[in-house]
């Protein structure tokens, strides 16, 4: 009996070590709790983030253990990547946004359009009279296809009325990045310097790769099994994030 207990403890220990290695070096699951990336990421999406995409920092480890001072095996992210990062204000909270501005870039909103280095991001409307969430309320928006300077294409939503119009010119410091939420009028991102602002390269956690599970908690919680067929978004399972 004693030998069996010891073997079970060893098995559990090895399993935890393997899980820790996978979580630290390869993939980590994340849950989307807000609507700031709609329509591309929805509340209730669960996704995998690749930890190796940009190298490793202390934020690669559970509890952000200060094992590394800076990043190792660093690979620079590409404009348009959807990235999980730790907010600079507390160095602890996970945010997920789209990378718009690279070090040295200028980013500015002018009359509702985004400009990078004084060049307007190409934007074409693809759908009118859509709805996205902003907190618990729905917001009337139009969907636009945006093409970044490197050719990366994504969908962004803009409020039909009273959309974010103009901003100061943001100049991205060295070794920092500028992020925006795809739900442009319901996102706390790098436009808000006191809460998010410019994100240092050491705060990058990883690149969002694909959604492995999605459910709408507004329809039914996991314990309400009789509502599963309505709450599960099967069309989002194993969907690649672009």
Taking all residues of the chain, what is their mean pLDDT, rounded to a whole number? 91
Quick: pLDDT tens for 180-219: 999 999 999 999 998 899 999 999 999 999 999 999 877 6
Quick: pLDDT tens for 97-112: 999 999 999 999 999 9
pTM (predicted TM-score): 0.90
In the set 34, 35, 36, 187, the catalytic residue is 36
Class for domain 2-240, per CATH? mainly beta
Quick: pLDDT tens for 141-161: 999 999 999 999 999 999 988
Look at residue 229 in the predicted model and tell me its pLDDT.
66
| Segments making up each domain of the chain, as ranges | 2-240
Look at residue 15 in the predicted model and tell me its pLDDT.
81
pLDDT range class, residue 66, cuts 50, 70, 90: confident
Q: Determine whether 36 is an active site residue.
A: yes
Nearby residues of 43 by Cβ (< 8 Å), 6 or more positions away: 32, 33, 34, 35, 133, 216, 217
Better pLDDT: 65 or 121: 121
Query: What's the distance, Cα to Cα, between the start and end of the chain in Å?
Result: 52
Nearby residues of 228 by Cβ (< 8 Å), 6 or more positions away: 220
In the set 97, 157, 190, 207, the catalytic residue is 97
Q: Determine whether 2 is an active site residue.
A: no
């Amino acid at each position: 009996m004693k030998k069996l207990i010891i073997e079970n403890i060893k098995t559990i220990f090895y399993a935890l070590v393997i899980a820790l290695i996978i979580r630290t070096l390869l993939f980590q699951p994340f849950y989307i709790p807000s609507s700031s990336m709609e329509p591309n990421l929805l509340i209730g999406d669960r996704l995998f983030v690749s930890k190796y995409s940009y190298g490793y920092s202390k934020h690669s480890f559970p509890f952000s253990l200060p094992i590394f001072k800076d990043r190792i095996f660093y690979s620079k992210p590409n404009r348009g990547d959807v990235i999980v990062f730790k907010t600079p204000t507390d160095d602890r909270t996970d945010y997920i946004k789209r990378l718009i501005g690279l070090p040295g870039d200028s980013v500015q909103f002018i009359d509702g359009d985004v400009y990078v280095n004084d060049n307007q991001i190409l934007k074409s409307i693809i759908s009118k009279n859509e709805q996205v969430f902003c907190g618990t309320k729905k917001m009337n928006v139009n969907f636009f296809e945006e093409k970044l300077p490197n050719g990366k294409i994504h969908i962004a939503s803009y409020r039909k009325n009273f959309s974010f119009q103009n901003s100061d010119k943001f100049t991205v410091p060295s070794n920092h990045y500028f992020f925006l939420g795809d739900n442009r009028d319901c996102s706390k991102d790098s436009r808000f310097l006191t809460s998010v602002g410019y994100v240092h390269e050491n705060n990058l956690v990883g690149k969002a790769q694909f959604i492995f599970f999605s459910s709408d908690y507004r329809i039914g919680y996991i314990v309400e099994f009789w509502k599963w067929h309505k709450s599960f978004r099967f069309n989002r399972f194993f969907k690649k994030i672009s």
